[in-house]
Amino acid sequence: MSSKYRIGMLWVEGPLSYVEQLCIQSFLDAGHEVTLYHYGPVERVPEGVHLEHGGAILPRDNFIQHNRTQSLALFSDVFRYHLLAKSERTIWADTDAYCMKPFETPTGHFFGWESENHINGGVLGLPPDSPALANLLEMTRDEYMIPPWYSEMARAKLEAKRDAGTPVHVGDLPWGVWGPHAVTHHLHRTGEHEHAFPRDVLYPVPFEKRRRMVKAHHRAAAEGFLTERTVSIHLYGRRIRDFLASRPDGLPEEGGLVDALLKKHRIDPSAAPIPAAVDAQAAE
């Protein structure tokens, strides 16, 4: 059995596009065992992936969605915390995280800064006995929680609505409330933020520069963000899929970074096109 950490991912249901195939295949090619959790039929799964029903980790009683976008990111946040709490030697990875090098950690902590303010949970490793993980699990049990990191004024407004009998559901709060914002807050509370990698390790290409990964004339600029320490590239799935879908035939530009990675891992993008309503299935 491989001594490498197992990679856990979630795709609720539906066909994978070439973006997800690329990311999953990159972990397989790096020697990782990959388990893809799902709740309905999933198609176009790369050979070698272990499929497992998500109910083994978290029952499908009620998917929590972000009300404005209908994204399942909130449910995905909760799922990854339960997965890490129930698993040994497992690192969570969103299906838009591309693996450059094997994921290794002597402590079980594996996460990094995405910006000056936030540690992202798109790639997340926490030991099962992590105090921050326990706090995240406790916090997400309350769908009407008031984020303790909000300003005093913002908390007061939410408390007033709660006291009036009209509490605000987490699905109506700003994006990332159970994700990067919560992860950053609780890791700082416990001091575990000291394990966070610099930005170039897991999130080298800034969100606002993501399209450079698709365009050929920006390939050098995109690769310029990578360093010897880089082990993963975050592709910003929903946004990059929207951009790719808008291109001719939904394909990346020939000679761009994404095109080069697809060729490296022998992924045929025309065989796994990006569906028009991908966000109903994605949970990143």
- Please, which residues have CB within 8 angstroms of residue 89's CB and are 6 or more apart in sequence? 5, 6, 108
Say what the pLDDT of residue 152 is. 94
Specify the length of the chain in residues.
284
Among 6, 183, 185, residue whose Cα is nearest residue 81: 183
Q: What is the pTM of this model?
A: 0.91
Token readout for 188 is 């700082």
Q: State residue 21 phi and psi, 5-degree precision.
A: -60, -45
pLDDT digits (tens, 9 = 90+) for 128-167: 999 999 999 999 999 899 999 999 999 999 999 999 999 9
145 within 8 A of 131, measured Cβ to Cβ: no
- Please say if the pLDDT value at position 278 is more than 50: no
* Domain layout of the chain by residue ranges: 6-200
Say what the pLDDT of residue 1 is. 42
Q: What is the CA radius of gyration of the chain?
A: 19
| CA–CA gap between residue 191 and residue 83 (Å, rounded) | 22
Of the pLDDT bands very low, low, confident and very high (cuts 50, 70, 90), residue 209 is very high
| CA–CA gap between residue 248 and residue 85 (Å, rounded) | 43
pLDDT digits (tens, 9 = 90+) for 227-243: 999 999 999 988 899 99
The average confidence (pLDDT) of the chain is 91
DSSP code of 75?
H
| Residue in the structure block whose two tokens are 């916090």 | 139
- Please say if the pLDDT value at position 12 is more than 80: yes
- Please say if the pLDDT value at position 69 is more than 60: no
Among 29, 135, 121, 123, residue whose Cα is nearest residue 77: 121
